[in-house]
């Protein structure tokens, strides 16, 4: 049969390997003069790892000329040496050879190999078929998956695999392999991977490629079979000096005993800890009650303060109206006093006119020439006096009504202040509030209780001062309302007298009007001059009474004006009401600040209550966890006790540890190196005296375009 050039090269390589590897392989105990056999299995794989052709090169070491048989299900065979003859009879091959080495090759169809290999690749992180990599550029990632074939464990569990990937410098750079070893060989980087017996794995190599091509991947499988002198190795290595281990075990045993003692102390401390947690929970419940009481007290304080501020606002507004009304009344009284003086002057003028008229009529039978003009002036002046009296009477009536309204307003304000106590409440300190809300002294000195109680004390001092000021305001307002009432009472006689005076003067004015008519007819009734003079005399007397009454009225109005307005350096009623208004305004402003503080205090008390509640909940959770902690610690103490006891037993049991470990290490190394492996023919289990087996696999190359 014919083989291609790569196959010939691989077969040549197999022959060389058969000559080179035997010194490193297990040497079977061959019988004297018996023929021993070495099998080299070669598998040609496709570029992706699938098998295409499988050959076995059979090597026989013939100690002397003889005939022997070999078995194998080959579809064809080829003799590789000129030594001896071989005849095929089905799957049996009869060999007649002289002394020396006899080789022949057999090809197996549909052979089941101990491993399957799957080769895949990505280029620039995109999957690509391996044949399509030829001549490509980019970032290459080549992976080789190794899996065992079920039923072939006699080989896969005892053979180690060596995988070699060769990447030419010209076509691959920046080569990396996480599980492999990279070495330069000729004009290429050679990446070598190793899979231990029974191992399944995926190996990957990465590189930047250009005009890519590479030779086939080579895979060889041989049993791990090396002669190692374990006795000399274990005896000479310091790593196996067990005295250090014995010393460490002694220390560990002593430490576990101390740990046991400490655990017993922890158990005692745990009981105290649980008791402390229980007390903390009980105290936390009291703390929650105190915080809730504090919040409720602050809320009631805020409600009372709001009501207090509402009353202060109303009183302040009413005091402003009252002060304004008193000021207006003071101005009205001044106006009435001034107008009253003008009336006195007018009444005096009328009296003088009547006197002059009487004198002009005296002793003459005929009226003087200027009597007409005097009468006209007298009539006009009398009319003005009458009108002025009516105006004054109406103004005084309105003024009296204004004083009555002011009195009513003042009484209403006093009624609004009826709840003001006789004495200001004492200012409470932080300690007083702590006692009120049942907060113990130690807790009251911690935050946030200390800040909250200090704020309450400040608010209490401010309230005490404000209430004291309000008491003074109430007393002053009561005096002012009494003063307004007195002024109003003093105006009542003036009002009544002025009304009477106005009525009487109306009669007097009617007489003056009648006199004017009489004087007009004086030329025709000269005999009536005597009667006329008598009437004028009566008018003069009445006018004198009017003047006296007006003088008394004006003095009374002036007295009332002096009481309402400032008199010298003494403040009058209007000035006092202005002071009262200003005092109430300041009190209202200060109350606004107090209200803001109370709002902040209420918010803080709510936060305090919530914070204390969260704190107590946390403590309760801790309390709930203490049971688990106790159980865990008790279990821990039991474990520590068991550890201490076990460590003592362990200490007693490690006396022969060095001997036992040495024996066990020998067993494990022997199993790993395959010293107990008995080679089995891959070609046919009927073949005997198999000295060694090796596998060589090679994938197809990726040639450039």
For the stretch 558-569, pLDDT in tens is 777 766 666 555
Q: Which of 199-208, 447-456, 514-523 has the lowest mean pLDDT?
A: 514-523
* 615-659: pLDDT as tens digits: 778 777 777 777 676 777 778 778 878 877 887 777 677 666 666
Omega before 448 within 30 of 0, i.e. cis: yes
Asked if the model's pLDDT at residue 20 lies above 50, the reply is no
DSSP symbols for 685-701: TT---EEEEEEEEEEPP
* 58-68: pLDDT as tens digits: 999 999 999 99
Q: How many CB atoms lie within 10 A of CB 281?
A: 15
Please report the pLDDT score of residue 18 as a whole number. 43
Distance CA 60, CA 84 (A): 11
Please report the pLDDT score of residue 191 as a whole number. 97
Please report the pLDDT score of residue 162 as a whole number. 97
Rg over CA atoms, the chain? 67
Distance CA 226, CA 475 (A): 119
Please report the pLDDT score of residue 265 as a whole number. 74
DSSP conformational letter for 213? -
Which has more pLDDT, 536 or 227? 536
Q: How many CB atoms lie within 10 A of CB 337?
A: 19
The sheet that has 85-89: what strands, in order across it?
66-71, 92-97, 85-89
Please report the pLDDT score of residue 479 as a whole number. 78
Asked if the model's pLDDT at residue 50 lies above 70, the reply is yes
DSSP symbols for 147-172: EEPTT-HHHHTTEEEEEEEEEETTTE
Measuring CA to CA, which residue among 115, 94, 93, 123 is closest to residue 163? 115
Distance CA 343, CA 555 (A): 13
Which has more pLDDT, 510 or 626? 510
How confident is the model over 177-193, as a mean pLDDT?
95
Q: Model pTM greater than 0.75? A: no
Determine the length of the chain: 705
DSSP symbols for 518-530: HHHTTTT-GGGHH
Please report the pLDDT score of residue 225 as a whole number. 58
Cβ contact 557:292 at 8 Å: no
How confident is the model over 278-283, as a mean pLDDT?
72
Q: Which of 122-126, 202-206, 215-219, 400-404 has the lowest mean pLDDT?
A: 400-404
Distance CA 395, CA 557 (A): 12
Cβ contact 361:533 at 8 Å: yes
Asked if the model's pLDDT at residue 537 lies above 80, the reply is no
């Amino acid at each position: 049969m014919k083989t291609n050039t790569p196959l010939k090269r691989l077969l040549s390589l197999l022959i060389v390997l058969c000559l080179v590897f035997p010194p490193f392989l297990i040497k079977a105990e061959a019988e004297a003069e018996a023929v021993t056999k070495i099998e080299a299995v070669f598998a040609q794989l496709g570029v992706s790892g699938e098998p295409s052709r499988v050959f076995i090169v059979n090597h026989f070491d013939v100690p002397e000329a003889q005939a022997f048989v070999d078995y194998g299900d080959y579809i064809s065979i080829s003799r590789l040496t000129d030594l001896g003859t071989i005849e095929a009879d089905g799957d049996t091959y009869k060999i007649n050879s002289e002394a020396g080495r006899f080789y022949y090759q057999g090809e197996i169809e549909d052979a089941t190999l101990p491993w399957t290999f799957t080769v895949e690749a990505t280029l620039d992180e995109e999957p690509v078929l391996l044949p399509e990599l030829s001549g490509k550029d980019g970032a290459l990632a080549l992976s080789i998956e190794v899996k065992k074939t079920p039923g072939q464990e006699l080989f896969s569990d005892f053979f180690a695999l060596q995988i070699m990937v060769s990447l030419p410098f010209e076509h691959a750079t920046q080569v990396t392999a996480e599980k492999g070893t990279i070495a330069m060989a000729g004009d290429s980087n050679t990446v070598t991977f190793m899979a231990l017996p029974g191992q399944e794995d995926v190996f990957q190599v990465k590189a930047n490629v250009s005009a890519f091509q590479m030779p086939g991947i080579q895979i060889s499988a041989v049993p791990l079979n090396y002669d190692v002198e374990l006795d000399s190795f274990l005896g000479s290595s310091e790593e196996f000096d067990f005295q250090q281990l014995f010393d460490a075990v002694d220390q560990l045993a002593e430490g576990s005993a101390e740990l046991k003692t400490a655990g017993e102390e922890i158990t005692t401390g745990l009981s105290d800890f649980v008791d402390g947690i229980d007390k903390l929970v009980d105290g936390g419940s009291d703390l929650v009650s105190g915080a809730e009481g504090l919040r409720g007290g602050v809320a009631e304080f805020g409600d009372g303060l709001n009501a207090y501020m509402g009353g202060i606002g109303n009183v302040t507004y009413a005091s402003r109206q009252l002060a304004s009304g008193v000021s207006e009344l003071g101005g009205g009284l001044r106006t009435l006093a001034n107008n009253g003086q003008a009336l006195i002057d007018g009444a005096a003028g009328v009296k003088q006119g009547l006197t002059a008229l009487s004198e002009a009529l005296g002793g003459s039978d005929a009226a003087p020439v200027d009597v007409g003009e005097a009468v006209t002036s007298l009539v006009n002046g009398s009319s003005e006096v009458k009108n002025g009296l009516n105006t004054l009477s109406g103004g005084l009536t309105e003024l009296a009504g204004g004083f009555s309204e002011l009195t009513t307003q003042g009484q209403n304000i006093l009624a609004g202040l009826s709840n003001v106590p006789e004495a200001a409440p004492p200012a409470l300190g932080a300690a007083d509030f702590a006692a009120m809300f049942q907060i113990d002294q130690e807790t009251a000195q911690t935050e946030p209780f200390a800040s909250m109680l200090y704020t309450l004390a400040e608010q209490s001092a401010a309230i005490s001062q404000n209430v004291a000021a309000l008491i003074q305001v109430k007393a002053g307002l009561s005096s002012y309302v009494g003063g307004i009432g007195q002024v109003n009472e003093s105006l009542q006689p003036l009002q009544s007298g002025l009304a009477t005076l106005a009525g009487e003067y109306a009669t007097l004015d009617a007489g003056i009007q009648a006199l004017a008519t009489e004087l007009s007819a004086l030329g025709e009734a000269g005999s009536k001059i005597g009667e006329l003079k008598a009437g004028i005399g009566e008018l003069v007397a009445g006018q004198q009474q009017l003047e006296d009454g007006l003088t008394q009225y004006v003095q009374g109005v002036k007295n009332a004006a002096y009481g309402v307005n400032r008199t010298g350096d003494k403040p009058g009623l209007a000035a006092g009401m202005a002071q009262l208004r200003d005092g109430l305004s300041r009190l209202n402003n200060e109350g606004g600040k107090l209200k803001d503080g109370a709002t902040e205090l209420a918010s803080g008390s709510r936060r305090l209550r919530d914070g204390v509640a969260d704190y107590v909940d946390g403590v309760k959770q801790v309390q709930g966890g203490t049971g688990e902690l106790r159980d865990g610690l008790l279990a821990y103490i039991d474990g520590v006790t068991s550890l201490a006891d076990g460590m003592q037993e362990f200490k007693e049991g490690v006396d022969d540890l060095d001997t036992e470990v040495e024996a066990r290490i020998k067993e494990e190394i022997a199993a790993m190196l395959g010293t107990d492996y008995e080679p089995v023919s891959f070609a046919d289990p009927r073949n005997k005296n198999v000295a060694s087996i090796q596998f060589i696999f090679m994938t197809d190359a990726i040639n450039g375009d």
